[in-house]
Amino acid sequence: MAKLSQGDTVRVVKTTFGSSVEGRKPKIGETATIRHVLEGVGILYVAERIASNGTREWLCEFAPGDLERVER
């Protein structure tokens, strides 16, 4: 599995959420943007989904297997 980077567009493929969820819970199949990559004992990705009107729908932490990169 390739490491994701800040700014990557990703798709939610699993819903194993950490405790940090702002807004509603993400749904499988939704796309978002990686905002932060948190590295320590393991890797966590913080992804954000923005609605078409510019408001944040959700901001959430994801484990590496929860997301896949969307090819441009």
Per-run averaged pLDDT (10 residues), the chain, 72 residues: 88 79 91 94 92 95 93 72
The pLDDT of residue 15: 82
Domain chopping of the chain, boundaries: 9-69
Nearest partner of 31 among 71, 65, 3, judged by Cα? 71
The pLDDT of residue 42: 86
CA angle, 38 as apex, 52 and 2 as ends, to 5°? Answer: 80
Q: Which CATH number fits domain 9-69: 3.40.50, 3.30.70, 2.60.40, 2.30.30?
A: 2.30.30
The pLDDT of residue 56: 95
Backbone angles phi and psi of 57, in degrees to 5: -85, -45
Whole-number Cα distances in Å, 19 to 1, 40, 52, 56, 70: 24, 17, 26, 18, 25
pTM for the full predicted model: 0.87
Backbone angles phi and psi of 70, in degrees to 5: -90, 120
Q: Do residues 42 and 66 lie in contact, with contact meaning Cβ atoms separated by under 8 Å?
A: no
